[in-house]
Amino acid sequence: MEARSPQPAGLTESPPQGFIQAKGYPTYTNVEVVNDGAESAAFKQLFRTWTHELGRKKLDRTGRSTQVKLDVGKLHSQPELAAQLRMVDDGSGKVEMWCIQDSGRQPVDSKHHGQLCSSNCYLILYTYQKLGRIQYILYLWQGHQATAEETKALHSNAEELDHLYQGALVQEHVTMGSEPPHFLAIFQGQLVIFQGSTGHHGKGQPASVPRLFHVQGTDGYDTRTMEVPARAPSLNSSEVFLLVTAGVCYLWFGKGCNGDQREMARTVVTVISGNDKETVLEGQEPPHFWEALGGRAPYPSSKRLPEEAASFQPRLFECSSQKGCLVLSEVVFFGQGDLDKYDIMLLDTWQEIFLWLGAAASERKDAVAWGQEYLRTHPAGRSLATPIVLVKQGHEPPTFTGWFSTWDPYMWSNNQSYEEVVKSGVSHLGTESAISGITAEINNFQLSQWPGESRAGPPDLPAIKDTQDISEMELGPRVGGRSASTSISTSNSSSSVSLVDSGSLPPERLRYQAVEDLPQGVDPTRKEFYLSDADFQDIFGKSKKEFYGMAKWKQQQEKKKLGFF
């Protein structure tokens, strides 16, 4: 994987020679000076942990972790909070679940929702409402023991469902044991992962075989229960475990667990076993308890410290492939306007990898593989189990949009389906006929000096001379994530003064020219706009329509390279 990004601030041109020589580095090695508290995103990404307090858990004055109640209303009104907590809502929406069997999907009865097996793959479709619109998240859950054939069938069935829903599904790839918070929330603390293909009823396994389950979590939003080897070393003094035997189910409470953990275990035990329940405190276990585990053995007894959320600045990359190699171009100070319909963009928030698919983007089938390649080659040694989320243009969830400073939900699709957006070829510049009309009429415009000889804005455009029904047309580059629009009236005009002689300015009057050397009336931020269509095509290799349909950062890159910035 090749990554391209701007040179970080603080890069010294003359690095300390002593340090370079001591390390045996090449003499041209750059050294970046980083101040405490002002570390760049690129610097932080080199470390596996870089933490600060974030989210629902906070520390009280004694340093103990306390729980902050989740306010669902704030998730809808504050997408930045939804993004940080990784929660689109409280998980109370509609849930449908399928198990992948014989390359097809078999519905799972609602009574068994949340009961997964490590050798299987599952599709979980979650439906919720946001801003009055129905939205979907399709979770692709893969067990650690699932075969390659089952994984392939999981992906193909997900694509079939996505087609049925006209491309409106946000697809999140989830690996067993790394379930995101919202995935846990939709099962309200009742998520149980069994080893092998043995479900809650224990089919395929003798009833006399003891089974041990580890309960992790303190409420309905963060609890998962996983089956672990029924051996004493699997225990931990800071956790809660359920030991299921032929006649009794032991609730084992370690010395370091708290009341919330014990309460969640009491609700989960009814899902796992119908046997009689017996509470066992660490150090007071009956002989039968240890016999079921194969005898006593050492296990971790130190209290596990609560994990802090990572402090990470999200990074946005444009993805492309050159000769089979993934190439990433970083977009700094990114906004919604940098998401181009022809592109596939990768947003790294550390806890999740988002792949945003533009409506007209090619190579969409490679997006998941690109996300996996990004994780595999990351210098910080990222976990390959990090969830990868596929997001379609026009169907972005708040967990994605919350990472952008501003977001217009109606910027592209106007409530069209994803397939309709692709077919219609939504463009920021309108129809071909409208563009042709404006191109023809602009030759009759005259560059005039702005009021007060100011160059603070674009020149005013006279009215079009015919009665073509154009009330508003977008011209020029996008600014701040939106297109800069120029209103054009439909009235007659007697003015017909030519623009210079040829209807435009020659390239040498615009290219590589300082602001003070430009002709009067030229907007210095849009020098390229005053080229003739032919000169623009020769210099930029594309039409003005194609250029202004690009993301703003791409326009700036080309303008810098060609001398129009």
Cβ neighbours, 10 Å, residue 141: 23
DSSP 8-state assignment for residue 61: T
pLDDT of residue 372: 94
Domains and CATH numbers, the chain: 72-194 (3.40.20.10), 211-293 (3.40.20.10), 315-402 (3.40.20.10), 507-562 (1.10.950.10)
Query: What band does 212 get if pLDDT is binned at 50, 70 and 90?
Result: very high
pLDDT in tens, 282-323: 999 999 999 999 999 999 987 665 555 456 789 999 998 887
pLDDT of residue 61: 38
SS3 of 479-541: ECCEEEEEECCECCCCCCCCCCCCCCCCHHHCCCCCHHHCCCCCCHHHHHHHCCHHHHHHHHC
Contact between 32 and 11 (Cβ < 8 Å): yes
**In one letter, which amino acid is 459?**
P
Q: Which among 420, 366, 364 has a CA at the least distance from the CA of 394?
A: 420
Instruction: Say yes or no to pLDDT of 454 above 50.
Output: no
Distance CA 221, CA 90 (A): 8
Phi-psi region of 500 (alpha: psi -120 to 50; beta: other; left: phi over 0): left
pLDDT in tens, 409-431: 878 755 455 555 555 544 444 44
Q: Where are the alpha helices (DSSP H) in 10-71?
A: 17-23, 41-44
CA distances from 231 to 275, 290, 292, 562 (A): 20, 9, 8, 68
pLDDT of residue 221: 87
pLDDT in tens, 226-255: 999 999 999 999 999 999 998 899 999 999
Token pair for 139: 């979770």
pLDDT in tens, 254-284: 999 999 999 999 999 988 988 889 999 999 9
pLDDT in tens, 492-539: 333 333 343 344 888 888 888 888 888 888 888 888 888 989 898 989
Q: Where are the alpha helices (DSSP H) in 7-54?
A: 17-23, 41-44
pLDDT in tens, 110-169: 999 999 999 999 999 999 988 778 999 999 999 999 999 999 999 999 999 999 999 999
> For 209-337, where are the E strands, in sequence order?
211-216, 224-228, 240-244, 248-253, 276-281, 315-322, 325-331
Average pLDDT across the chain, whole number: 76
Instruction: Say yes or no to pLDDT of 72 above 50.
Output: yes
The whole-number average pLDDT for the span 388-393 is 95
**Which position has the higher pLDDT, 253 or 206?**
253
Instruction: Say yes or no to pLDDT of 90 above 60.
Output: yes
Instruction: Say yes or no to pLDDT of 561 above 70.
Output: yes
- pTM for this prediction: 0.65
The pair phi, psi for residue 151, each rounded to 5°, is: -65, -40
Distance CA 442, CA 462 (A): 9
